[in-house]
Every structure is written in structure tokens, then in C-alpha cells.
Chain A
Amino acid sequence: MKPSLAVWKFASCDGCQLTLLDCEDELLTIAGQVTIAHFLEASSQVLPGPYDVSLVEGSITTSADVERIKRVREQSKVLITIGACATAGGIQALRNFGDVNEFRSVVYATPSYIETLATSTPIAAHVPVDFELRGCPIDKGQLVEVISAYLVGRKPDIPNTSVCTECKRRGLTCVMVADGTPCLGPVTHAGCGALCPSVRRGCYGCFGPMAGANLLALTGQLKTCGMDDAAVGRVYATFNVAAFDQGENHDASQ
């Protein structure tokens, strides 16, 4: 019997599950190897669990979803989070550092209709996760690699280095050294293939912090490039805000 694949959505933009549909060359091949048992964005056919591999997109932001992710975990042999929302809480985790009631009243005239938690948290804060795939959005090649690896029961080959290593491998000239452009490449988890430096832009951290990132040193360098404290604060506070916040203290003034 073919292994079953399920795709689940929590608070997110749908971009990471769309990445699976963006595998135009591989999609029908993958669909031939697995039974797509639950993938609402792509199919109205829903098969009951258990599922061999579940891909989970999105962060946990409601009390109902706190319960739903537990049921997904119970039904899944392997649970893989896909993307910055599921892995780090996403940009909606900016609420963790603000006042969610005030946020709610800014967007909605009758805030009491809106049920939401004060925090946006990653899946791993609620249930055990077997593998976390980074990115905002995830990389197509890495997604195919992770699915293939789990289907045959091997470890995915996903490098745990920085964007700098990908940039060097592409032979790109360093935007920070050559142009003085602020770049998060030295502290950001590899995976995109150094997309921003390839268009002479500084990395802005879509894949979140790499393990052991030296944020303190980079913060000094960003300031040398002309960023003030507020700008440095903002550049870390985007799609992986909660992960960067948990990293080493990046405020060099302290």
C-alpha cells in the first residue's frame, strides 16, 4: 500500500503548501508514490487517518487550534512543519511583543467577535515535531528532499549552515563587504540559495536564525553599515521574530 500524505493549515498565508503545488515537474510523480489523504487546498477528497507523513503549515493562534494540532499529531506517524509560521510563529508572532487586544481593535470594529490568543506560537511549542523545514516560504527543492527522505525512511539532507555559505558557493560578491549593504546572511539559516544577494540585496532573514548565530557581532556590523537601533530591531522582527528574539541578545548597547 502506498504511504499516505496529509497537509494541514493553521495561521498562515498558504504559500508553503502552495510550494508543493509549485513542484510542477514532480507533482504527478509524488502523487503516484503516495496517497494524498488530506490536502484541502488541492482536493475535496478527505481520507481518515492515521497518516504516514503530515506536513503542517501555519502557527497556533487560537484555542481551537491548540486542540486541533494535538489531534493531527495523534494521527501522524511523522509530523513535519513547513515554513516560518509553523516553525517559528511567523510574522503574526509580532503580537507576542504587543497588545493583542489593541491589535484587534485596530483591525476590527467589534473586537469581541474575534477569538484569538495573545500569542502566535510554533507547532513544536504544542506537540513533538519530527522535522522543521525553514523558510518564508520554504524552498521547493528542500520540500521534495524532505518528503522523499521520510518516504524511504532516511534523514533529510538539509544543510544547517548560514546563507553566507550558499552565497560563497554561488560565487556572489558579498553585498555587505563590497557595497556596505546590511545583510542578515551571516546569521540566517541556509536554504534559499542566497536569493537576495544574487540581486544585490541584503538577506532579510526568511529562513530564521541558524544554530549558534552570532547576533551580537552581526548587530555591530549592521550599525557600521548605517542602521540605527530601531532599524536593527525591525530587521530581526519579521517572519521569524520569535526565533530571533530567543537567539543571543542582539542589542549591542547592553
Chain B
Amino acid sequence: MTHRSRQLRVSSLARVEGEGALHVVVADGHVESADLQIYEPPRFFEAFLRGRAFPEAVDITSRICGICPVAYQTSAWNAMEDAFGVDVGAPIGALRRLLYCGEWISSHALHVYLLHAPDFLGYPDAVALATDHRAIVERGLALKKAGNAILELVGGRAIHPVNPRVGGFHRAPTARELAPLAEQLRRALDGALATVRWVAGFDCPDLELDYDLLAARAPDRYAIENGRVVTESGLDFPPSEFADHVVEHQVPHSTALHATLDGRRYLTGPLARYTLNSAQLSPLAREAAADAGLGPTCRNPYRSVVVRAVEIVYAIDEALRIIGSYERPDPPAVDVVARSAVGHGVSEAPRGLLYHRYELDAAGLIREATIVPPTSQNQAAIEHDLTRVVSANLDLDDAALTSLCEWTIRNYDPCISCSTHFLELSVERR
């Protein structure tokens, strides 16, 4: 093996959502390029949303991603309600936040236990992990189940919920129906705190992010279901100005569009949220973070597993708070009257900020749709990390370097189906 001319290929990257490939070229001991090749077939949502009625966007865009459908639904209704000047009020807003907490718990538990932890512990998957540590995997599955229980009770279904709509819900659950859910969540909270302690003990490679961070921010809470957009570099703008700062452009090696922030590389997702908004976490979540050795910011992408665990604690804590002060929305949805307008919506999908924009006609039909998913935004940052990781680890053999690359990609919980899409990894050294 020589560093001057090596070629490394892995046919598929596993434990990510969707399909793609990575091509790294190393020449003369120098990383020439690291392309995340997303080739998952495009599905053209933005094209066939045109001509659809505004309420349909909630059901249709949820089908972009089976892992984070509530994120798509939420950004869609945020944009529609922005366009039509609708304010749903506090009780509906709280129920929506509860629903979104369910998605965070479920998606994060899936990623921490089933997709990411095997990297730290040297297993191919959680099933193999369970043969040695069954109780740990069962704890993760119980957490995931608690998140799904929220999605099923409030949303009507865990994947592609049927109950939410533009303006609110078809039916709001009663306080009595929510009571058993609170019981399940109180038990899950112990599991979530144990999760933080567990992942805090994982050995992490060193890597320090050196680019800008972007997240939603709400004045009075850790932003999840809406907010303004802020960056570590000091930008602070409403969703309507998103397109002034974030520009998507196409690259030949990907069916996902790449995004830049004022021409620069940036990151969205748990690290960005935590670094920008950790002061807004609940006392319990902040304490769990401090005990896990996290400061007020976190810039090591491998430590994102700890941040996700802390966000699970927060989401359960927050879900319990919402259930504790639940006021059943009556009616379950406010009236929505269509008008010719443009609307913008953002929300924090488990893997990062998701932006929707719709142009609507007077009858409420969609004239134009733009969707910027988190993984498109993070693609350039992932490629940058890969370049640095490969450069710093050229002494590793091909198998070890490949595993490290895959692990690095999983740090971002990329949702390739969202961004269109599948990872197949090949590293060419010449």
C-alpha cells in the first residue's frame, strides 16, 4: 500500500436513510476531492406540487421522507399560514410542538441506537449490538416507541401522520387520552437520561468544525416547530429572507442540490441548534448536557451523538410539560381562507432546518414550490469534513479509513431520501 496511489471503493454506505455514494480521490498523499454522490432517483416533488390545492401540500410533502414526515408537514403549514395570514393560537401551537417532540424522540433514538452507536462500539448494526448488550438496545427501542406513541396519538399515525392539517388538526385529543402517554414518557425520561450517560462515555475522534452554523431560533423556547433563522456569524432573519442568504446550486455528482449561505459553507442540525440555542434548553436537559461534559457549545461532529441524546431528554421533558398544561384546542383547527400570496416556512427537522416556500393563487392552488431540505444544506460541510478526516488519517489502511469515512457521514444523520437520495462509497488513491 502506498499513499501516493491508492484506490478504495465501498459499494454502498449503510445505516443512513436513502442511497448514495462517496468518491474520494487521494493523489500524492493529498486529498484532491471528496464528492458525496447522491444518486437516489429524483422524485420531482416541487414539479408536481404545482396545481395542487394548498391543504394537499401537508400530505404530499410528508411523503418526501418517512423518517421526518412531521418536519415536512410543519414547514408546509407554516408556509401556508404565512401566506394566508393565519394565526392558529397557543393551544394548537402547543399540540403541534408536542407532535414534533414525538418525531425528535423517535428519529433521534433511531439514529443514536440503531445507526450511530454501532460505529462507536464496533458493531455492524444494532441487532449484533443486542447480542452482547440486549438491555441497552431494548432501552433505545423503548425510547423510539415512546416517540412513536406521541406521533400515533396526536398525529394518528407514526409515519405520514393523518390528523394534522393547515390551520390545526382534524381532531384534538382529550386530556384524558393524553394521560397514559404521560406515564409512558415519564418512564422514557429515565431511559433518555441513561442514554446521555451511555453516549457520553463513547470515545470520539477529534475534529473541530470550522464553518458557520445555522438554526431556527424562537424567543421563548428551544426552537423546534418554527422561528426566525439565525447563524453563528450573527445573521438573524425571518423565513421570508431565507432565499436571500441560502442559494442552492446543482453539482454534477448529485441529484440533491447543494446549498451555500451567502456563498459560504455552513451546517444545520443538532450541533448548530445546540451551539446557538443551548441556553434555552430546560434545566433538566442542560444538567444532563453538563454531566455529559458538554459546554454551552459543541463543535465536534462525532459528539453530535451526545447532543442528540440531550435533545431526546429535552423533547421528552418538553412533551411532559405540554401534556401537563394541556388545553384542548376547540375548535381543533382555525378557518383558513386562501388568497393569492407567497408564504415561507421553516422548522427544525431532527437533522436540521427545513425550508418551504409556496406561491399560491387566489383559489389556493400552488403555482410554485421550493423545498430546501437539511441534507442538501449539509452536503458541502459533510464533504469538507471528509476531506479533512481523510487528510488526517492517510496512515490508516483502506478498510479502517473507509469505516471512518462512513462514520463521519453518519455524524450528520443524512437523510438522503429527503435530499432526493443513497450512499455508495469509493475512495480512489492515485
Chain A contact residues, CB within 8 Å of chain B: 9-19, 21-22, 24-25, 27-28, 31, 36, 39-46, 61-62, 65, 90-92, 94-95, 98, 100, 102-104, 106-110, 113-114, 116, 120, 136-137, 192, 195-196, 198-201, 204, 206, 231, 234, 238-239
A15 to B65, CA, bound (A): 7
Q: List 15 A-B contacts (CB under 8 A).
A: A13-B64, A18-B159, A22-B159, A28-B137, A28-B138, A40-B12, A95-B48, A106-B44, A106-B47, A108-B257, A110-B250, A201-B165, A204-B162, A234-B53, A238-B60
Q: 1/0 per position for B83-113, CB-CB distance to A under 8 A?
A: 0000000000000000000000000001000
Query: Bound complex: CA of A61 vs CA of B134, how far in Å?
Result: 40
Are A103 and B56 interface neighbours, CB within 8 A?
no
Contact status of A14 and B141, CB under 8 A, knowing A98-B48, A106-B44: no
Q: Which residues of A contact B197 (CB under 8 A)?
A: none
Question: Does B67 contact A28, Cβ atoms closer than 8 Å?
Answer: no
Does B218 lie at the interface of the complex (its beta carbon under 8 Å from any beta carbon of A)?
A: no
Within 8 A of A (CB), among B137-176: 137-138, 141-142, 144-145, 148, 156-160, 162-163, 165, 169-171
Once bound together, how far apart are the Cα atoms of A90 and B41, in whole Å? 13
Which A residue's beta carbon lies closest to that of B40?
Answer: A11
In the complex the two chains form, what is the Cα distance from A116 to B42 in whole Å?
7
Contacts A43-B124, A91-B48, A106-B46 given; indicate if A11 touches B66 (C-beta within 8 A).
Answer: no
Set A15, A25, A106, A195: member contacting B69, Cβ < 8 A: A15
Partner of B171, one of A12, A199, A206: A199
Q: CB-nearest residue of chain A relative to B255?
A: A114
| Pick from B14, B159, B255, B257: contact of A41, CB under 8 Å | B14
Known interface pairs A40-B12, A43-B125, A198-B156. Does A109 touch B170 (Cβ–Cβ under 8 Å)?
no
B53, B60, B127, B158: which contacts A91 (Cβ < 8 A)? B60
Q: Which of B's residues lie within 8 Å of A, judged by CB?
A: 12-19, 40-48, 50, 52-53, 56, 59-60, 63-67, 69, 110, 114-115, 118, 124-128, 130, 134, 137-138, 141-142, 144-145, 148, 156-160, 162-163, 165, 169-171, 249-250, 252, 255, 257, 406, 417, 422
Separation of A238 and B60 alpha carbons in the complex (Å): 8
In the assembled complex, how far is the CB of residue A72 from the closest CB belonging to chain B, in whole angstroms? Answer: 14
Residue ID in chain A nearest B11 by CB atoms:
A46
Chain B contacts for A106, CB-based, 8 A:
44, 46-47, 50
Contacts of A113 on B, CB cut-off 8 Å? 250, 252, 255
Nearest CB of B to A183, in Å = 12
Question: Hey, which chain A residues are within 8 Å of B43, CB to CB?
Answer: 11, 61, 90-92, 120
Inter-subunit contact B48/A108 (CB<8 Å): no
Known: A106-B47, A195-B157, A234-B52. A18 touches B67 (CB 8 A): yes
A104 touching B44 by the CB < 8 A rule?
A: yes
> Besides the contacts A24-B148, A43-B14, A206-B160, what 5 more A-B pairs have beta carbons closer than 8 Å?
A12-B66, A18-B17, A41-B16, A42-B114, A95-B47
Shortest beta-carbon distance from B268 to chain A in Å: 20
User: CB-CB < 8 A to A25: which residues of B?
Assistant: 141, 145
Which of A104, A107, A116, A234 is most buried by chain B, counting CB atoms within 10 A of its CB?
A107
A15 cross-chain contacts in B, Cβ below 8 A: 63, 65-67, 69, 159-160
Contact B144 A24 (CB under 8 A): yes
Question: In the complex the two chains form, is A199's CB within 8 Å of B169's CB?
Answer: yes
Q: Which residues of B contact A192 (CB under 8 A)?
A: 157
Contact of B128 among A13, A40, A45, A102 (CB under 8 A): A45
| CA–CA, A21 and B255, complex, Å | 27
Q: Is the CB of A21 within 8 A of B14?
A: no
Instruction: Contact check, A12 vs B417: say whether CB atoms are below 8 A apart.
Output: yes
Closest to B163 in A: A199
- A204–B255 CB distance below 8 A: no
Chain B residues near A116 (CB-CB < 8 A): 41-42
- Measured CA separation A136–B19 after assembly (Å): 20
Q: Is the CB of B41 within 8 A of A61?
A: yes
Contact, CB under 8 Å: A36 / B44: no
One of B12, B45, B141, B406 near A46 (C-beta < 8 A): B12
Contact A21 B406 (CB under 8 A): no
Question: Could you tell me if B127 and A44 are in contact, using CB atoms closer than 8 angstroms?
Answer: no
Determine if B142 and A136 form an interchain contact, defined as CB atoms under 8 angstroms apart. no
Task: Report the minimal beta-carbon distance from A181 to chain B, rounded to whole angstroms.
Answer: 10
Once the chains bind, are A196 and B44 in contact (CB under 8 Å)? no
A196 to B48, CA, bound (A): 24
When distances are taken between beta carbons in the complex, the residues of chain B under 8 Å from A12 are: 66, 417
Determine the distance from Cα of A17 to Cα of B171 in the docked complex, in whole angstroms: 28
Q: In the complex, what distance in Å separates the CA atom of A198 from the CA atom of B43?
A: 31
Q: Please report the C-alpha to C-alpha distance between residue A158 and residue B65 in the assembled complex, in whole angstroms.
A: 26
CA distance A114 to B170 in the complex (A): 39
B126's nearest neighbour on chain A, judged by CB, is A42
Q: Which residues of A contact B169 (CB under 8 A)?
A: 199
CA distance A216 to B60 in the complex (A): 25
Q: How far is the CB of A96 from chain B (nearest CB, A)?
A: 11
| A198 closest partner in B (C-beta) | B156
CB distance from A121 to the nearest CB of B (A): 12
Task: State A237–B46 Cα separation when bound (angstroms).
Answer: 16
Smallest CB gap from B144: residue in A: A24
What are the residues of chain A within 8 A of B126 when measuring CB–CB? 42
Shortest beta-carbon contacts, A-B, top 6? A15-B66, A43-B125, A44-B14, A103-B47, A45-B124, A199-B171
The residue in chain B whose Cβ has the minimal distance to the Cβ of A23 is B141
Is there contact, CB below 8 Å, between B14 and A102?
no
Least Cβ distance of B386 to chain A in Å?
17
Min distance, Cβ A12 to any Cβ of chain B, angstroms: 7
With A28-B127, A199-B163 known to touch, is A91 a contact of B170 (CB < 8 Å)? no
- Closest chain A residue to B249 by CB distance? A109
B42 near A114 with CB under 8 A, answer: yes
Contacts of A103 in B (CB 8 A): 44, 47-48
Residues of B within 8 A of A198 (CB): 156
Least CB distance from B241 to A in Å reads 22
Partner of A13, one of B63, B127, B138, B148: B63
A145 to chain B, nearest CB (A): 18
Q: Is the CB of B127 within 8 A of A22?
A: no
